[in-house]
Amino acid sequence: MKQDNQPPSTFAGLRRIIAILRGPDGCPWDRVQTHQSLAPYLLEETHETLEALDSGDSEKLCEELGDLLFEVLIQVQLAEEAGDFSMSDLHPKR
C-alpha cells in the first residue's frame, strides 16, 4: 500500500489523525499528554496566530490557524477520551 504523506485535507481527516496519534499503537509522546501538559503549546500557537494577524501575512496566518486548530482538536480528543465532552458539545444548541 502506498504511503500518503500529505496532510489531511478535511476536518474529519485531521480528527482521525489525532485519534490515531492518541491510540494504542499511536505516538508514545502524544499518548501520555494531558490537557495541562499541552496547555503551553495551545498558548504558544495562540500567540503565533495573533502575531500573524498583526503582520498582515495571510500565508503565515493560514499556517498558524492550522497549528492552533490542531491544538484545539487534540484538547477535544482528550476530553472525549475522558468522557468530559465531545465535539458536538462545542456547537451552540438552538
pLDDT of the residue at 1: 43
What pTM did the predictor assign? 0.86
* Residue 55, domain member (yes or no): yes
- Domain total in the chain: 1
Q: Where are the alpha helices (DSSP H) in 23-57?
A: 28-31, 35-55
Residue 73 is classified by DSSP as H
Q: The CATH number of the domain where 53 resides is what? A: 1.10.287.1080
* Residue 84, domain member (yes or no): yes
Task: Answer for the pair 75, 33: CB distance below 8 angstroms, yes or no.
Answer: no
Residues 6+ apart with CB under 8 A from 49: 61, 64, 65, 67, 68
Range of the domain at 51: 34-88
pLDDT tens digits for range 70-83: 999 999 999 999 99
* Residue 14, domain member (yes or no): no
* Residue 49, domain member (yes or no): yes
